[in-house]
Amino acid sequence: HYLVTTKDEL
Amino acid sequence: MNIFRFLGDISHLLAIIILLMKIWKTRSCAGISGKSQILFAVVFTTRYLDLVTNFISFYNTSMKVVYIACSYATVWLIYSKFKATYDGNHDTFRVEFLVVPTAVLAFLVNHDFTPLEILWTFSIYLESVAILPQLFMVSKTGEAETITSHYLFALGIYRTLYLFNWIWRYQQEGFFDLIAIVAGLVQTILYCDFFYLYITKVLKGKKLSLPA
């Protein structure tokens, strides 16, 4: 499935 | 947080600090592309706008703040404090060839058509190619100081470690972000030639110089 980024990475 | 991601972040931080220290200690930014450094400042600024909209962790926030502050400090050292040592004649890469296509691509291929998301996507695409003015400068002058080579290696290995992080996260959490993965792959591939030179020359105590 395709997950939109959770932006927890730098 | 897994070990690849953590080491990637540390390596990224190390790269930024190596560059700052090199310029500060030698009082010179010779051999450093100011254009690449401006692009990195743009990358951090457009990516970390979420600093003001959502909080993830103390680690996340402090790393973002440090990255942004260091990137602006570097740009300031190059274009203001040690401007006289900046080798502008060799820093001739046309950055519009990087900024315009990545900006257009960010509008076309993104997760969500909102300002923050487009800016984030732009920063991911731009980061993947932001080192090109620096690599172009090294190939133009045919050499790089050893400390500059260490900087480039630490910066290159950071995204390579992130690739392992994404494999890990996909396995463990089913998490994947195709935009980051493809851009990260491109970014890593751009360093491959440099990695080869670094391992075969710099690690054996030789200065990085290219055949004439």
pLDDT digits (tens, 9 = 90+) for B104-137: 999 999 999 999 999 999 999 999 999 999 999 9
Cβ atoms B90, B141 nearer than 8 A? yes
Can you read off the two tokens belonging to residue B173? 């959490």
B134-156 burial, b at 16+ Cβ within 10 Å, e below that, comes to bbbbbebeeebbebbbbbbbbbb
Q: What is the pLDDT of residue A4?
A: 53
Mean pLDDT computed over B68-89? 98
* ipTM for the complex shown: 0.82
Strand positions, DSSP E, B10-89: none
Instruction: Provide the 3-class DSSP secondary structure of residue B36.
Output: helix
Chain B residue whose CA is closest to A2: B176
Nearest CA in chain A to B110: A4
Q: Residues B189-203: pLDDT tens digits?
A: 999 999 999 999 999
* Region B36-61 average pLDDT: 95
- CB spacing of A9 vs B5 below 8 angstroms: yes
Q: How confident is the model at residue B175 (pLDDT cuts 50, 70, 90)?
A: confident
**Nearest CB partner across the interface for B180, out of A1, A2, A5:** A5
Check: CB of residue A9 under 8 Å from CB of residue B127: no
Question: Coil, helix or strand for B127?
Answer: helix
Kindly report the average pLDDT of chain B as a whole number. 96
Q: What is the pLDDT of residues B20-41, one digit of tens each?
A: 999 999 999 999 999 999 999 9
Judging contacts by C-beta atoms under 8 Å, the chain A residues touching residue B57 are 8
